[in-house]
Amino acid sequence: MTYNPQLKRNIPQGWEVKKLGELFDITMGSSPKGHSLNENGKGIEFYQGSTDFGRLYSTIRVFTTAPVRFAKSQDILMSVRAPVGAMNIAMNDCCIGRGLAAIRHQSPLFAWYTMQTFK
């Protein structure tokens, strides 16, 4: 172990300090206009926040015909508003609202377990 002054603690030798954005592609959500939302399947799946979360995958409730920000299939969807930290996996490409962030890595499993550790 070696002392890291930035973290003010010991870390394993050879490890380095990085920001999440250096390890993952992170997309913060942005909600589409309300008039574009529908429940009849027109457009792309839209997830606003953890209200749409299931045990592992989100439940499709709403669609939008004017998507703003996107998550890709297998991205980790993380709630960034109360409750902060709740997570699901995107089953399909989808639109994400301002209550979510999409976290992407070449290994979705690595992203999932890394983010679980930070919770």
Residue ranges, the chain, pLDDT below 50: none
Hey, what domains does the chain have and what are their CATH numbers? 24-118 (3.90.220.20)
The closest of 49, 72, 73 to 61, measured between CA atoms, is 49
Phi, psi angles (nearest 5°) of residue 105:
-145, 155
Question: Tell me, what's the pLDDT at 118?
Answer: 85
Cα distances from 70 to residues 5, 7, 8, 75, 103, in angstroms, run: 37, 33, 37, 10, 11
Output the pTM of the full model. Answer: 0.89
**What pLDDT is recorded for position 46?**
98
